[in-house]
Amino acid sequence: MSMEHKQRQIEATLRLAPVVPVVVIDDVKAAVPMARALVAGGIPAIEVTLRTAAALEAIRAIAAEVEGAIVGVGTVLSAKDLHAAEQAGARFAVSPGVSPHLLAAADDSNLPLLPGAATASEVMALLERGYRFQKFFPAVPAGGAKLLSAWASPLPQVHFCPTGGISLISAPEFLMLPNVLCVGGSWLTPADKLKNADWEGIEQLAREASALCG
């Protein structure tokens, strides 16, 4: 698959809703009902991070059983992570930053990558490789909406999904920027709601997120 095709796929995914939930899941049994709650609330693109032993099985279950879900993988650090996620049925991959080995693996993979960048130099280096869509991480500690706004004029070709420290309250500040397509956030699937199987609560959080605008 060409880089241009993968970029179009990433763009389509990022435009599905104002927020991509960043999910840390410990129990595979929670994956399907959680994803159904998010989709019911208007949030179809779901990033399951590779921070737990349950992550790949959760991705596999969501991909197989949840109609309307576009499940992706987060915290991708290596070629091994990328391959395992693709085998599990992930539709997109997200990395906190990049390395030469990861970018080489992404070139050879059909799984579209949303690479992380935190400086103008990193954004430019990724743009040279064809990445017009990038993750700005960690968004708030790295400079927040003010930094992204400053990049909009000199780097208009690049659009971002800022992630890291963003909440329901602060999300509109990012979403109003011309170079932001959506934000990533962990507040849609808090650990207590996952542990207590509060799927109605997660659906409500998703509804609030899907109603966001800049």
Domain range list for the chain = 3-208
pLDDT at 213: 78
CATH class, range 3-208: alpha beta
pLDDT at 214: 59
For helices 55-65 and 79-88, give the axis angle rounded to 10 degrees. Answer: 30
Q: How many CB atoms lie within 10 A of CB 78?
A: 14
Distance, in Å, from the CA atom of 48 to the CA atom of 46, rounded to the nearest integer, reads 6
pLDDT tens for the chain, residues 1 to 214: 899 999 999 999 999 999 999 999 999 999 999 999 999 999 999 999 999 999 999 999 999 999 999 999 999 999 999 999 999 999 999 999 999 999 999 999 999 999 999 999 999 999 999 999 999 999 999 999 999 999 999 999 999 999 999 999 999 999 999 999 999 999 999 999 999 999 999 999 999 999 997 5
Could you tell me the two tokens for 34? 């959680």
Closest CA to 72 of 116, 113, 124: 113
Distance, in Å, from the CA atom of 104 to the CA atom of 101, rounded to the nearest integer, reads 5
Q: Which residues form the catalytic set?
A: 47, 135
Could you tell me the two tokens for 164? 């890291």
Q: What is the DSSP letter of 170?
A: T
Q: Write the DSSP assignment of 73-140 as a string of letters.
A: EE---SHHHHHHHHHHT-SEEE-SS--HHHHHHHHH-SS-EE-EE-SHHHHHHHHHTT--EEEETTHH
pLDDT at 1: 87
Q: Are 211 and 172 a contacting pair, CB within 8 Å?
A: no
